[in-house]
Every structure is written in C-alpha cells, then in structure tokens.
C-alpha cells in the first residue's frame, strides 16, 4: 500500500509563521466513494491569502483547522474513481493541495488539457492568478487606454500579469515595485516603463520619480506604505483595486498607514477590495484573450518551483518573504 | 457712503482655529462694472470644508489667501448692477460669503424664488447641502431598498438629510451617530431607527448594538474611529461614500485609524470619496424630489442661525465643535 504524505497545521502562527507551525503527516492513500476521484497531485500552489486562513478569525473562507491538512489550488492525475465524465488518466485542477494524494469530489474538479499549455499555467497565468490580475485591472479598477498604472508586488505571479496586461490593453505608462534589483531588472524585460526596489527609499519618493505626473490606477498587493504612496500620487478620479496587503499579514499591530486617506475626498478616489471569485463572468473572455497573448508570445510568466511535499512549508514561507519570481509552485 | 464689513483670514490655523485667525475689516461698498452685480448678503453658509482651505496646501479648491476675505455660499438681494437677466431686487445665490456686500459676476449668480421656499433652504436642504446628501447616498453609495445605512455627523446639515432620504428611499434600517444626547433625541424624531452619542463608548460597540446584523452603506462625515467602526460592521459588498472627515481636520498628526482597512478585500468593500460638484447631473431630479418631500411634510430640516458678520468666525468655530443642529448659517 502506498503512503500518502500531507502537511497539517500544527499551530497557529503569531506574527511571522515558522516551520514549527507545520507538520508532515503520513496517512493512507484514500479509496474513492461514489462521485469521488483520487488524484495524485503533481503541482500545488502556495498563495499569500493562505496566511489569513492560518488565523482563527472569521473571513470570506473558514480558517484552516488545527491538526488537519491545509488546502489550496492543486493539479494532478486521476488514479482512481470515475465520475462526471472524468476518468483515471485525466489531469484535473482542484482545491485540495498540500497532500500527495487527494480525495476529490468530482464536481469540484475541472479537467485541463495538458497538450494546450504546460499544466502549471492552469495554476498561474491561465488560472485564478491570471484571472485575478485581469479582473482587478480591467473590471475593478476599470483601466482605460492611456492611463498610468502602478502595481506593487509586481514581480509576483499576479503583479507581473497586471503590468503586462496593462501594456497590452493600452496603458500609457506602467510602473511596478518589487523587492530586489533582480526583480526590478526582470520587470524592465517584461515591458514595464519604470520599476523600483521599494528598499531603495520611501515608496512615495520612488513612485514620484517613476510617475512624475501621477497615477490613475493602483493595483495593490502590498498595502501599508505602498497604499499610502499610491493615494498620494493619485490623480483626480483615480481607482485602486485592492487585491492583497501582504506587508501586513504577519504584523501583530495594525498598520499606521495609509495616513492620508482623507485625500480620497478631494481627489474623488475609489478604493475597492475584491476577490476573484466575484468575477467568474469574465472567465471565458479572459481565457480567450490570455491564451491568445501566450500563443503570440506577447505575455511571459515566471515560475519558482520547489520540489517535494516536505518542502511545501518552506515554499510558503519563501513566498511571504518575497523569494519567488512569478508564481510559487511545489512539484510533488 | 455705506460701509462694507468683511472677514479676512489673518493667519493660518495650526490645529484648531481660534478667533485670532480671523479679522473684521471695513471696506467700501463696491461699484458694479459690466456684467457685475452688487449683492447685499442676507445669509451666508459656514461649512466644514472651509477648514481645509485655511491650510496652505494644494487641493481641489485653492487655499484661502491671507489678508483677503474668505468666501463661500451666500444669498442676498441685488442692490446695484444688471446683467444676464438679473436686476436689483432679485434674490441670488452665489459664492462670495463672509462679507456684507459682494461684487459678483452675474454668471456666477443664480436667481432663487423667495416665494417658493424660505430662502435659507437654497443654502441647505435645496442647495449644495441637500444635493451632497442625495448624490452621496443614491449615486456614490448606490443605496438599495432594504439595506442598512449608517451615517455619522447625523444631526448636521448633510447627515440629517442622508438619514431621512434613506428612509424615504426604502432603507431597511437607518442608524446615526451624533455628539450629544439632545442630537440623538432629535434623530429619533426625524425617523432614524437607532442613534447614539459617540461620546458614550467606542463607536464600534455602539454601532454593533445599533446595527447587530451589520451595515451595507456608510455615509462618512467624520473619518477616523467612525470609519474604522463602519468598515468593521460592513457586510459583503458594502459601500462607503466618503463626504468628509471632520474628526481630523484640526489634527496636526495624521490619524491612526482605520487600522482594519485590509477588510476591504475579504468583504469586497468599496470606499469612494466624492465632491458634490461631480454630481450636477442629478440636480433636476434632486430638486423635484426633495421639494416634493418638503411640500408633503415628509422631510424636516434644522437650522442654527448666528447673527451678524462679526460673529461669522464664531459660527464657523462652533460648527467645527459640533454646536450646530442642522445647517449652520450666519444672518447678515
């Protein structure tokens, strides 16, 4: 009998999580019941939002349970079970990552075509990550051609899509911030008009230098000082799509910034938080458009891959520290 | 020759303004040139936004100049000049308050009918104040029937309109906060479902008691702790119309709140700052609807009137301290 290994939440982090908050547990490979599939996971996603689920607070998704496996986006091959037109040998996308073998309800699995694109794309550029960028920029922030767009966390999976999609959709100027010189260099290669390392000085000053005439749209992955700088740089009727605030997920004290929120009045700004789940109506248009850009070589994406279920916690901690370029994945 | 008295800005306030920041100056009554009118002001408005104009910072309107008269909404009788169909004897609304006689460009004046409504209404419920409430609630926050609405500064000129219009438009529950027991009592008479004095405890606790199932719309006149409490109480897809942040206009340090801004993501909230000037397209509908409610006795408004140009600074300072019920006016 094959052993299944999975990662449990051993304890809830106080502030920054550590390896001690996770536990590798061996279990049995499950047996499928009616309507169920057993999937041998090949890739799993680690995402910043998972940090919030480690706290015991009510949110849009329930918190992770202690002494139970974590979950999240994953992709693998069906090895047992048959339902809803899915059969062994199929590659499916589902929500039960952090384990080598997943017992999945067939209705919660979606078959993907491994010949159409590298399967990892379905967890990134062609998946939730890509749709988050697409929906946030075009639907939530309603970017118009000619506008100046600023995105933080720009070398991450979502941020790098935001900047490139903005250019492809006619943005006048696209500015990105990231956490290292190498990432900044990568953003220039991806076609950003300007990019800066937020360690190099106050974000406000770097942003002013990169966008001297101000910005119209801010795509926020970071919060805190970045959001404050963006509000300060906004032009009349600017919009911020608030996707994440990774700068504060591990803070035990609430952030002081943005301290300039009163500017939303005189500048008539709109700040709007969003989750990709509300924007499913864009999925068909998104897949068609993004797949086209990929085929034509107009859109590039990076992946940072860590090997083995035992290193999944390490991949997640690295993501929180910004050690990834593009999408952070664990190969199982 | 008649003397004209006007209020100049003598110095820029640091923090809370004092009487020393103002100076009463005697000048001559002006003589109209072509296209100009001389208006003997009868009423002038003092408004919270004027505090921002006393600072020397770039904003949506230029700062007040030192050693020059302040300005703002006013209303009076034309005593000299004739242009654009306006003649002596007419009552006009214009933007040059803080003085007994105003030399007004006829294109910047609007004739009002003193027989149709008490003239003070044109500075309040039927004027910018009323339109601010109407546009912010219905256009910016897009309140829908059945929703729960929370408004701060609810006994003020704008806030009391917001609450009443919300009820007239079918809000399920309307909650207001104000700064005294007498104001809270007045809100109950005006038809608010619940009201509290924000001095009585943390706003968060008072709001939770007043709206145990949460709120859908927040009309912000106050900022700071009120905004933080509102974000905390918001239900999914809640909207805040940010009209003012009077709690912080006189603070020399930027406010720490709202410290819970990250909640905009999971709850998919929209925070939107606005100025009434962007919503002029609603004016006809607004006047028709509000004038109808007034005629039918469905809408009440309060006024706090101070007499004499010399007391205009006192009226303004009282407004910042919340000493007014409803619209604060100076009768000249």
Write the residue in A245, A259, A273 that is nearest to B255 by C-beta.
A259
| Cβ neighbours around A297 below 10 Å, total | 7
Going by C-alpha positions, the residue among B41, B43, B44 that lies closest to residue B103 is: B41
Q: How far is B132 from chain A (nearest CA, A)?
A: 12
Q: Which pLDDT score is estimated for B225?
A: 94
Q: Do residues A149 and A268 share a domain? A: yes
Task: ipTM value, please give it.
Answer: 0.92
Q: How far is A49 from chain B (nearest CA, A)?
A: 10
Q: Which pLDDT score is estimated for B304?
A: 96
Calpha distance B315→B301 (Å, rounded): 18
* Residue A295 touches partner B, C-beta closer than 8 Å: no
Q: Which pLDDT score is estimated for B1?
A: 56
Q: State the 10-residue block means of pLDDT for chain B, 332 residues long.
A: 92 96 97 97 96 87 94 97 96 97 96 88 95 98 98 97 98 98 97 98 98 98 96 98 92 84 96 96 94 94 97 97 95 97
Q: Do residues B21 and B133 share a domain? A: no
Q: How far is A265 from chain B (nearest CA, A)?
A: 4
Write the residue in B254, B264, B278 that is nearest to A268 by C-beta.
B278
Q: Do residues A115 and A144 share a domain? A: no
Does residue B223 come out as left (phi exceeding 0), alpha (psi in the -120 to 50 range) or beta?
left
Give yes or no for a contact between B64 and B8, defined as CB atoms under 8 angstroms apart: no
Q: Do residues A160 and A205 share a domain? A: yes
Contacts of B269 in chain A (CB under 8 A): 272-273
Q: Do residues A134 and A268 share a domain? A: yes
Q: Do residues B231 and B92 share a domain? A: no
Residue by residue, pLDDT tens for chain A (332 residues) are: 589 999 999 999 999 999 999 999 999 999 999 999 999 999 999 999 999 999 998 777 789 999 999 999 999 999 999 999 999 999 999 999 999 999 999 999 999 988 888 999 999 999 999 999 999 999 999 999 999 999 999 999 999 999 999 999 999 999 999 999 999 999 999 999 999 999 999 999 999 999 999 999 999 999 999 999 999 999 999 999 999 999 888 888 878 789 999 999 999 999 999 999 999 999 999 999 999 999 999 999 999 999 999 999 999 999 999 999 999 999 99
* Domain presence at residue A91: yes
Q: In this structure, what CATH number is given to the domain that contains residue B146?
A: 3.40.50.720
B263:A244 CB<8 A: no
* Domain presence at residue A294: no
Contacts of A59 in chain B (CB under 8 A): 266
Q: Do residues A11 and A94 share a domain? A: yes
Q: Which pLDDT score is estimated for A1?
A: 56
What distance lies between CA B239 and its chain's CA centroid? Answer: 20
* Domain presence at residue B282: no
- Interface with B, mutate which of A257, A261, A269, A280 (most B CBs under 10 A): A261
Q: Do residues B136 and B116 share a domain? A: no
Total of domains in chain A = 2
* Domain presence at residue B108: yes
Summary count for chain A: helices (H), strands (E) = 9, 15
Contacts of A226 in chain B (CB under 8 A): none
Smallest CA–CA distance from B222 into chain A, residue: A262
- Total number of residues shown for chain A: 332
* Residue A248 touches partner B, C-beta closer than 8 Å: yes
Write the residue in B244, B262, B272 that is nearest to A223 by C-beta.
B262
* Domain presence at residue B295: no
* Residue B250 touches partner A, C-beta closer than 8 Å: no
Structure tokens that stand for B151 in this block: 């408004």
A273:B278 CB<8 A: no
Calpha distance A272→A269 (Å, rounded): 10
> Where are the extended beta strands (E) located within chain B?
3-9, 22-28, 36-45, 74-80, 91-94, 101-105, 110-111, 148-151, 173-178, 194-197, 215-220, 234-242, 270-273, 303-307, 327-331
* Domain presence at residue B293: no
SS percent in chain B: helix, strand, coil, step 5: 35, 30, 40
Q: In this structure, what CATH number is given to the domain that contains residue A308?
A: 3.90.180.10
* Domain presence at residue A290: no
What Cα–Cα distance (Å) separates residue A176 from each residue in A103, A143, A217, A298?
40, 16, 12, 18
* Domain presence at residue A229: yes
A243:B266 CB<8 A: no
12-71 in chain A: CB under 8 A from chain B: 52, 59-60
Q: Do residues A159 and A223 share a domain? A: yes
Calpha distance B97→B7 (Å, rounded): 9
Calpha distance B238→B215 (Å, rounded): 7
- Interface with A, mutate which of B48, B231, B234, B262 (most A CBs under 10 A): B262
Q: How many CB pairs under 8 A join A and B?
A: 90
Calpha distance A20→A166 (Å, rounded): 40
Q: How far is A223 from chain B (nearest CA, A)?
A: 8
Q: Do residues B157 and B252 share a domain? A: yes
SS3 for B268-331, per residue?
A: CCEEEECCHHHHHHHHHHHHHHHHHHHHCCCCCCCEEEEECHHHHHHHHHHHHCCCCCEEEEEE
B265:A242 CB<8 A: yes
Calpha distance B279→B275 (Å, rounded): 8
Q: Can you give the residue range of the structural domain that contains B314? A: 3-124+302-331
Structure tokens that stand for A234 in this block: 């906004």
Q: Do residues A265 and A310 share a domain? A: no
Q: Do residues A16 and A115 share a domain? A: yes
Write the residue in A60, A242, A255 that is nearest to B259 by C-beta.
A255
């Amino acid at each position: 009998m094959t052993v299944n290994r999975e990662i449990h939440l051993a304890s809830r982090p106080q502030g920054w999580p550590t390896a001690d908050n996770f536990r590798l547990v061996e279990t049995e490979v499950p047996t499928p019941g009616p309507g169920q599939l057993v999937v041998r996971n090949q890739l799993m996603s680690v995402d910043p939002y998972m940090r919030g689920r480690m706290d015991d607070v009510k949110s849009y998704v329930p918190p992770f349970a202690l002494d139970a496996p974590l979950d999240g986006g994953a992709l693998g091959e069906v090895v047992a079970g048959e339902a809803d037109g899915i059969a062994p040998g199929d590659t499916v996308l589902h929500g039960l990552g952090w384990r080598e073998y997943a017992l999945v309800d067939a209705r919660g699995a979606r078959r993907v075509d491994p010949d159409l694109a590298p399967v990892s794309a379905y967890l990134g550029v062609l998946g939730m990550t890509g749709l988050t960028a697409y929906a946030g920029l075009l639907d939530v922030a309603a970017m118009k051609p000619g506008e100046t767009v600023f995105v933080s966390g720009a070398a991450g999976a979502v941020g790098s899509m935001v900047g490139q999609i903005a250019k492809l959709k006619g943005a006048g100027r696209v500015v990105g911030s990231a956490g290292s010189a190498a990432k900044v260099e990568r953003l220039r290669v991806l076609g950003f008009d300007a990019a800066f390392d937020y360690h190099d000085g106050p974000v406000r000053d770097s942003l002013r230098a990169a966008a001297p005439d101000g910005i119209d749209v801010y795509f926020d992955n970071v919060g805190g000082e970045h959001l404050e700088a963006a509000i300060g740089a906004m032009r009349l009727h600017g919009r911020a799509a608030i996707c994440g605030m990774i700068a504060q997920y591990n803070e035990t004290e609430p952030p002081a910034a943005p301290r300039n929120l009163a500017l939303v009045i005189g500048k008539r700004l709109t700040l709007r938080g969003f989750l990709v789940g509300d924007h499913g109506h864009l999925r068909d248009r998104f897949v068609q458009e993004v797949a086209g850009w990929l085929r034509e070589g107009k859109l590039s994406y990076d992946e940072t891959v860590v090997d083995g279920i035992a290193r999944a916690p390490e991949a997640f901690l690295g993501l929180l520290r910004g050690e990834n370029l593009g999408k952070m994945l664990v190969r199982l």
